[in-house]
């Protein structure tokens, strides 16, 4: 239980716009927990009753509803979560999200503001009096590049966010944080998208200095601090993570209030990195970083290879055009053009020959591993397949499609695996590149495996 503060009157009521507002039993006026979605008027009155019952348990002044709140509360919160999720999906308004979550948070105790306050004014909350909260508002999703993208749209959830995080922080209830995390994870917002979708702005609210309480690690606020609060006093305390963003500078300065938030934030970043890499192996930090290093190298190789190919194609095209025009002009004017033709041809050749194309990459799928190495026009493909499918035919078909000329093949059945090594040459003029080869091979082989479930028969 938390201490009642003098800042608000637990009995005061907030009329949420609709049904998500939780209603306290009379005589105390209904508690405003949801300034939430407008579609929830039907949302069971029962829920409200139950929630209100729970709230009551947190209220000193309503002794007459001794509800075993914690267990019920959790369930209710989860139910609410579900309700929220559906509603949130319906409503794209960020405010709704904010309010929903805030109201969810509020389920544990009653905030006081009236509707006006909820929407515009930051409340002076009990949080100011309570010790460090252990709740960390983690990133709702794994992928958190959000913080890196400085341009979250500034939304009018600034006010919402202020209230959003307000109630939570003095709750040290252990069951809560995961729920909240779940809630946010299930939010359609997935707050972090490079495009800075509207939803993401849930976490991108007010960057004002005094609107600081953007909760736990991983919530970044946009720096357009124009959104002021009318009664700008939001007494977030030192126990809230204040995310003041450098105004439109693209840089984020984070100040974590708790060490735990910082750690969580870091873990989320590692997870984001892990999700970017195609074949993550182990799940520990060092190997994530190692995988990332290798992946960056692979991407650089791919980019270089593609650049060379594009360049070659472009030169070839230009050369063809030039030859064509020269041919045309030859028909008209024999002497002049013939002398021009040769020197023009050469620079293209030399350019092409100067850059040796090389690339290497590996791809793995569940049963198949492919290693493709390209040097100039020679492609070496190594294929290991874990199921007993003789894929020689399939692969040679694919190689024909990809315009690769088989020079050497070696391989066969080894224990539980089929393993092959193909040495091929690229037919002239074809601009197939390493990752295309690898992806196509894996796709075809896996598809073939899927279509012949019984092993070994072919």
Partner 1 sequence: MEFLGSAMNELCFTQESNRRGRLGRRKVEYDDTREYKSKNLHAERRRRQKLSDRLLALRSMVPIITNMNKATIIEDAITYIQELQQNVKLLSDQLLEMEGSSEEAVQTRSDEINAAEEMKNCGIMEDVQVTNIDRNKLWIKIILEKKRGRFTRLIEAMTYLGLELTDTNVATSKGAMLVSSCVEGSYGDTLTVEQTKDLLLEIIKSI
Task: Return residues touching partner 1 (CB under 8 A).
Answer: 145, 147-149, 194, 251, 265-266, 269-270, 272-273, 276-277, 285-286, 289-290, 292-293, 295-297, 299-300, 302-303, 306-307, 309-310, 313-314, 316-317, 320, 390, 392-393, 396-397, 399-400, 403, 405-413, 427-431, 433, 435-436, 457-458
Q: Write out the DSSP string of 325-376.
A: HHHHHHHH-HHHHHHHHHHHHHHHHHHHHHS--EEEEEEE-SSEEEEEEEET
Q: How far is the CB of 272 from partner 1 (least distance, A)?
A: 6
- Supply φ then ψ for residue 368, to 5 degrees: -130, 140
CB atoms within 10 A of CB 140: 29
Measured from the CB atom, the residue of 333 and 452 that comes closer to partner 1 is: 452
Q: How far is the CB of 309 from partner 1 (least distance, A)?
A: 6
Measured from the CB atom, the residue of 85 and 423 that comes closer to partner 1 is: 423
Measured from the CB atom, the residue of 85 and 362 that comes closer to partner 1 is: 362
Measured from the CB atom, the residue of 65 and 302 that comes closer to partner 1 is: 302
Q: How far is the CB of 413 from partner 1 (least distance, A)?
A: 5
Residue that has been written with the tokens 């005589």 in this structure: 27
Q: How far is the CB of 430 from partner 1 (least distance, A)?
A: 6
Measured from the CB atom, the residue of 230 and 376 that comes closer to partner 1 is: 376
Burial call 217-238: b when 16+ CB within 10 Å, e when fewer: bbbbbbbbbebebeeeebbbbe
Measured from the CB atom, the residue of 194 and 340 that comes closer to partner 1 is: 194
Q: Write out the DSSP string of 214-248.
A: --STT------TT---TT------TTS-B-PBPTT
Are 107 and 26 within 8 A, CB to CB?
A: no
Measured from the CB atom, the residue of 29 and 290 that comes closer to partner 1 is: 290
| CA distance linking residue 17 with residue 162, whole number of Å | 18
Measured from the CB atom, the residue of 317 and 447 that comes closer to partner 1 is: 317
Structure tokens at 259: 């060490």
Q: End-to-end alpha-carbon separation of the chain, Å?
A: 69
Plot region of 250 (φ>0 → left; ψ -120 to 50 → alpha; else → beta):
left
| CA distance linking residue 35 with residue 162, whole number of Å | 14
Q: How far is the CB of 401 from partner 1 (least distance, A)?
A: 10
- Which residue in 431, 451, 449, 171 sits closest to 313, CA to CA? 431
CA distances from 417 to 6, 269, 392, 449, 450 (A): 73, 37, 13, 13, 16
Q: How far is the CB of 219 from partner 1 (least distance, A)?
A: 15
Are 439 and 362 within 8 A, CB to CB?
A: no
Are 438 and 370 within 8 A, CB to CB?
A: yes
Q: How far is the CB of 145 from partner 1 (least distance, A)?
A: 5
Q: At what angle do helices 94-106 and 157-165 cross, to 10 degrees?
A: 20
Measured from the CB atom, the residue of 276 and 444 that comes closer to partner 1 is: 276
Q: How far is the CB of 342 from partner 1 (least distance, A)?
A: 20
| CA distance linking residue 170 with residue 248, whole number of Å | 31
Q: How far is the CB of 158 from partner 1 (least distance, A)?
A: 24
Measured from the CB atom, the residue of 1 and 410 that comes closer to partner 1 is: 410
Are 70 and 121 within 8 A, CB to CB?
A: no
| CA distance linking residue 434 with residue 429, whole number of Å | 15
Q: How far is the CB of 414 from partner 1 (least distance, A)?
A: 9
Measured from the CB atom, the residue of 183 and 399 that comes closer to partner 1 is: 399
| CA distance linking residue 235 with residue 202, whole number of Å | 20
Q: How far is the CB of 435 from partner 1 (least distance, A)?
A: 8
């Amino acid at each position: 239980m938390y201490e009642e503060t003098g800042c608000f009157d637990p009995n005061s009521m907030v009329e949420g716009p609709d049904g998500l507002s939780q209603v306290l039993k009379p005589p105390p006026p209904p508690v405003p927990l949801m300034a939430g979605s407008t579609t929830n008027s039907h949302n069971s009155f029962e829920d409200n009753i139950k929630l209100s019952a729970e709230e009551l348990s947190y209220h000193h002044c309503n002794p007459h509803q001794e509800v075993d709140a914690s267990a019920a509360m959790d369930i209710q919160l989860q139910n609410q979560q579900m309700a929220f999720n559906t509603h949130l999906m319906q409503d794209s308004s960020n405010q709704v999200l904010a309010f929903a979550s805030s109201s969810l948070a509020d389920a544990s105790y009653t905030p006081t503001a009236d509707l006006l306050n909820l929407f515009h004014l930051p409340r002076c909350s009990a949080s100011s009096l309570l010790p460090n909260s252990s709740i960390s508002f983690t990133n709702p999703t794994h992928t958190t590049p959000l913080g890196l993208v400085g341009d979250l749209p500034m939304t009018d959830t600034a006010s919402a966010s202020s209230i959003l995080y307000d109630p939570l922080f003095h709750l040290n209830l252990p069951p809560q944080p995961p729920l909240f995390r779940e809630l946010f994870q299930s939010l359609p917002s997935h707050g972090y998208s490079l495009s800075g979708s509207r939803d993401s702005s849930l976490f991108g609210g007010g960057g004002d200095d005094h609107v600081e309480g953007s909760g736990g690690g991983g919530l970044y606020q946009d720096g357009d601090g124009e959104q002021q609060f009318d009664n700008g006093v939001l007494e977030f305390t030192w126990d809230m993570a204040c995310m003041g963003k450098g105004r439109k500078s693209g840089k984020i300065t984070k100040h974590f209030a708790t060490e735990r938030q910082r750690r969580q934030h870091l873990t989320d970043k590692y997870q984001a990195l892990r999700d970017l890499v195609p074949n993550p192996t182990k799940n520990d930090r060092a190997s994530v970083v190692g995988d990332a290093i290798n992946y960056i190298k692979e991407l650089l190789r791919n980019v270089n290879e593609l650049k060379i190919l594009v360049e070659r194609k472009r030169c070839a095209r230009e050369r063809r055009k030039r030859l064509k025009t020269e041919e045309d002009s030859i028909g008209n004017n024999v002497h002049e053009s013939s002398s021009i033709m040769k020197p023009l041809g050469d620079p293209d050749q030399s350019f092409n020959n100067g850059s040796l194309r090389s690339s290497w990459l590996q791809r793995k799928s569940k049963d198949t591993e492919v290693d493709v190495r390209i040097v100039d026009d020679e492609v070496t493909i190594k294929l290991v397949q874990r199921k007993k499918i003789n894929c020689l035919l399939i692969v040679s078909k694919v190689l024909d499609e990809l315009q690769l000329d088989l020079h050497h093949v070696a391989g066969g059945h080894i224990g539980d695996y089929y393993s092959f090594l193909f040495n091929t040459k690229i037919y002239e003029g074809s601009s197939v590149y390493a990752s295309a080869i690898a992806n196509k091979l894996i796709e075809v082989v896996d598809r073939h495996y899927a279509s012949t479930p019984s092993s070994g028969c072919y």
